[in-house]
A and B are shown apart, each in its own frame.
Chain A
Amino acid sequence: MRHEEPHDAFIEVRDLVAHYDETLVLAGVSFAVRRGEVFVIVGGSGCGKTTLLKHMTGLLTPTSGAVYCSGQNITEMNEDELARMQRGIGIAFQSSGLFNSMTVGDNVALPLREYGGVEERLVQAIVRLKLSLVGLAGAEHMMPEELSGGMRKRAGLARAIALDPPVVYFDEPSAGLDPIIAAGLDDLILDLRGLLGITFVIVTHELDSIRKVADRLLMLDRGKEIFLGTLAEAEACDVGRVRQFFERRADEFIMPHGPR
């Protein structure tokens, strides 16, 4: 199943095992993300997707295993090295993670002001550019609570791409959004990939979204990897749970009125 040459692995996860308190959340997951692709992590609710994302970005420390980002093992980094690595990635959170105490513009400008060494006039220009890239031109003076759910996700994405990172991690882009806005976000992800060459690692369970954006995908079930491959391979896959997911079939015991 795994034939990637080491040189095209941009981000690599090896035998990642993680616990939350005493519950096993990830049971030895391994995969690699290639430069420039949209890599989707899918699976049912509570299967460890978000946890995996937090491990890949250094927000959590695993029980064992390694995460390589551009060849460096982030699980062995000290705080300073980790902080330096994190400047090179963008993370857009499920609940957007925007700072409620700042305007949208200041939110996007924050990483620029903290790290960029960019002069203030240019900071303003970059903020406007990134906001118009995500379709929020003119929203820089609004507060996060004035935005709708979809706009907030876009603003979170604008902040994630503020420093032009080569890779963006996106947790549940379409969760809680109506299908039209969700589709808009999917288009946006593809546009940004095409325009800026950003590698995307996306966590989702929205089937429509997966079919639209995914180049390759990893499917998790109860912390275990059950599928890794391209979208076409996934659609053709005959592993029970993968089929079940793509055909939106419920688990057997909860369908009393199914075909007899």
Chain B
Amino acid sequence: MTDTRLPCPGRLDGETGRTLHEKAEALAVRPGDRLVLEMSGTDSMDARGGAWVVAVADAVRARHGEFAYEGQRGEVADFMNLIGPGLVGAPSTAKSETGFFERVGETGLDWLGEFNEFVVLTVDTVYWTFIAPFEGKGFRWGLWADEVYEMGVRGVRINCLMNFLLGMIIAMLSAAQLEQFGAGILVADLVVIAFARELAAVMTATVVAARTGAAIAAELATMKVQEEIDALRGMGLNVAQFLVAPKVLALLLVMPCLAGLGMIAGLLGSAVWGVLVMGHPARLWYNETMAAAEMSDVFQGFLKTLVFAVMIVLIGCHNGLRVRGGSRGVGLMTTRAVVMDIFFIIVIDMIFASVFYYMLD
């Protein structure tokens, strides 16, 4: 270990500081060496000069050397007292790099922890939605009614519009193909089967995820940030009972209704195309549709909507309650909730499709 002394210019400003830094670089401090900045000849320094001193200290420590200064006086001493303490001494030991396996393990533990939280929330919610009301522990019917209005009634228009347009698009696409074989009327069959089994449920779930799922996550996250969740728990009230259960029961009612309306809207959309553009008689289109409609298809679609409903509420609440930090956290968690919603809509739809494919067809 050797000491290297570096004299500091009489007036330390942006220009002389740069020269000082270049000199320090040229000294090529080796690990364990000490660089002492000799400041007895310095009469004044400014902020830019101070920044160069910081840069010199950083450069020394980046090479695992030590930085020190001495001989400062007067105004310069005041300045160095302000910036000095963080610069002097041995390099701070950098946080050790985490290895590949450590990172894998950490991620795994994070996931396990989150999964555990989700399961606890789910169990709590199932208890407070389906069991506790029968034990006379109370259910917030007032909030439930508000939620039904907010999630359901106010979502009817946008949901029907989306399904109507989707119905029209499907009719357009399939008509182009089927008309080549003179089988244009089969578009009615195709649309009714697609909507009953898949499209009404998935399209409605997507609209609900974007409207209601995002709203739930943002609401709970904001409540958490503003200590409302703590206030609730501090009164001995259960979050699952108070906030989650009414939403689950509301969406369980609303989702099949919206999907049913969505299905009708989708069929209307395809009928508009079939009758007005393709020129089939309305009567014929109606009969074809009704003949192709199967109760089992409709049932399959509705069953899915119930699963989607519970999932959207739970994912929204789960992400909302996990928020950390302020407004930025709220935004992050809302985004996360909607992304997870849409991902799991597709996954659940896939599971349903394969189950029905192998079991029933």
B 261-291 contacts with A by CB, 8 A: none
**Interface: A199 (CB within 8 A):** no
Please indicate the chain B residues that have their CB under 8 angstroms from the CB of A129 in the complex: none
What separation, in Å, do the CA atoms of A254 and B81 have in the docked complex? 8
> Which of B61-69, B227-235, B249-257 lies at the interface with chain A?
B227-235
**Interface: A243 (CB within 8 A):** no
- Whether the pair A82, B236 counts as a contact (CB closer than 8 A) is yes
From B233, which residue of chain A is reached at the shortest CB distance?
A59
- Whether the pair B78, A256 counts as a contact (CB closer than 8 A) is yes
From B80, which residue of chain A is reached at the shortest CB distance?
A256
Residues 93-109 of chain A, each 1 if its beta carbon lies under 8 Å from chain B, else 0 = 11111111000000000
- Whether the pair A99, B231 counts as a contact (CB closer than 8 A) is yes
- Whether the pair B82, A59 counts as a contact (CB closer than 8 A) is no
Please indicate the chain A residues that have their CB under 8 angstroms from the CB of B79 in the complex: 256
What separation, in Å, do the CA atoms of A115 and B236 have in the docked complex? 10
- Whether the pair A87, B78 counts as a contact (CB closer than 8 A) is no
What separation, in Å, do the CA atoms of A139 and B222 have in the docked complex? 24
- Whether the pair A91, B234 counts as a contact (CB closer than 8 A) is yes
From A99, which residue of chain B is reached at the shortest CB distance?
B228
- Whether the pair A253, B226 counts as a contact (CB closer than 8 A) is no
- CB within 8 A of B81: which of A86, A87, A100, A253? A253
- CB within 8 A of A97: which of B82, B227, B237? B227
- Whether the pair A86, B234 counts as a contact (CB closer than 8 A) is yes
Interface of B is mostly: helix
- Whether the pair B236, A83 counts as a contact (CB closer than 8 A) is yes
Please indicate the chain A residues that have their CB under 8 angstroms from the CB of B78 in the complex: 256-257
- Whether the pair A254, B237 counts as a contact (CB closer than 8 A) is no
What separation, in Å, do the CA atoms of A87 and B227 have in the docked complex? 17
What separation, in Å, do the CA atoms of A229 and B82 have in the docked complex? 35
**Interface: A85 (CB within 8 A):** yes
- CB within 8 A of B231: which of A79, A85, A93? A93
From A159, which residue of chain B is reached at the shortest CB distance?
B231
- Whether the pair B235, A114 counts as a contact (CB closer than 8 A) is yes
- Whether the pair A256, B81 counts as a contact (CB closer than 8 A) is yes
Please indicate which of the listed interface residues B78, B85, B223, B231 has the most CB atoms of chain A within 10 Å of its own CB.
B231
Q: A97-B227, A99-B228, A99-B231 are in contact. Are A83 and B238 (CB under 8 A)?
A: yes
What separation, in Å, do the CA atoms of A83 and B236 have in the docked complex? 4
- Whether the pair A59, B234 counts as a contact (CB closer than 8 A) is yes
- Whether the pair A91, B238 counts as a contact (CB closer than 8 A) is no
Please indicate the chain B residues that have their CB under 8 angstroms from the CB of A257 in the complex: 78
Q: How far is the CB of B334 from chain A (nearest CB, A)?
A: 17
What separation, in Å, do the CA atoms of A96 and B78 have in the docked complex? 43
From A80, which residue of chain B is reached at the shortest CB distance?
B236
Q: A254-B82, A256-B78, A256-B79 are in contact. Are A97 and B231 (CB under 8 A)?
A: yes
- CB within 8 A of B237: which of A91, A98, A114? A114
B 207-236 contacts with A by CB, 8 A: 222-223, 226-228, 230-236
- Whether the pair A91, B85 counts as a contact (CB closer than 8 A) is no
User: What number of A-B contacts does a CB cutoff of 8 Å give?
Assistant: 63
**Interface: A84 (CB within 8 A):** yes
Q: A97-B228, A99-B228 are in contact. Are A85 and B236 (CB under 8 A)?
A: yes
Q: A97-B231, A257-B78 are in contact. Are A86 and B226 (CB under 8 A)?
A: no
What separation, in Å, do the CA atoms of A57 and B85 have in the docked complex? 40
**Interface: A111 (CB within 8 A):** yes
- Whether the pair A98, B236 counts as a contact (CB closer than 8 A) is no
Please indicate the chain B residues that have their CB under 8 angstroms from the CB of A99 in the complex: 223, 228, 231-232
From B138, which residue of chain A is reached at the shortest CB distance?
A114
- Whether the pair A86, B236 counts as a contact (CB closer than 8 A) is yes
What separation, in Å, do the CA atoms of A99 and B79 have in the docked complex? 49
Q: How far is the CB of B192 from chain A (nearest CB, A)?
A: 42
- Whether the pair A96, B227 counts as a contact (CB closer than 8 A) is yes
**Interface: A54 (CB within 8 A):** yes
**Interface: A126 (CB within 8 A):** no
Please indicate the chain B residues that have their CB under 8 angstroms from the CB of A254 in the complex: 82
What separation, in Å, do the CA atoms of A256 and B84 have in the docked complex? 11
Please indicate the chain A residues that have their CB under 8 angstroms from the CB of B231 in the complex: 91, 93, 97-99, 156, 159
What separation, in Å, do the CA atoms of A140 and B36 have in the docked complex? 68
**Interface: A47 (CB within 8 A):** no
The contact sample of 23 A-B pairs, CB cut-off 8 A, is A57-B234, A59-B230, A79-B238, A83-B236, A83-B238, A91-B230, A91-B231, A93-B227, A94-B227, A95-B226, A96-B227, A97-B227, A97-B230, A97-B231, A100-B223, A100-B228, A114-B235, A253-B81, A253-B82, A253-B85, A256-B78, A256-B79, A257-B78
Extra 16 A-B pairs, beta carbons < 8 Å, given A59-B233, A86-B234? A54-B230, A59-B230, A59-B234, A79-B238, A83-B238, A86-B236, A91-B231, A91-B234, A93-B230, A95-B227, A99-B231, A100-B222, A114-B235, A159-B231, A256-B79, A257-B78
**Which residues of A are in contact with B by a Cβ distance under 8 Å?**
54, 57, 59, 79, 82-87, 89, 91, 93-100, 110-111, 114-115, 156, 159, 253-254, 256-257
**Which residues of B are in contact with A by a Cβ distance under 8 Å?**
78-79, 81-82, 85, 222-223, 226-228, 230-238
9 nearest CB pairs, A to B: A97-B231, A83-B236, A86-B236, A97-B227, A91-B234, A256-B78, A93-B227, A256-B81, A256-B82
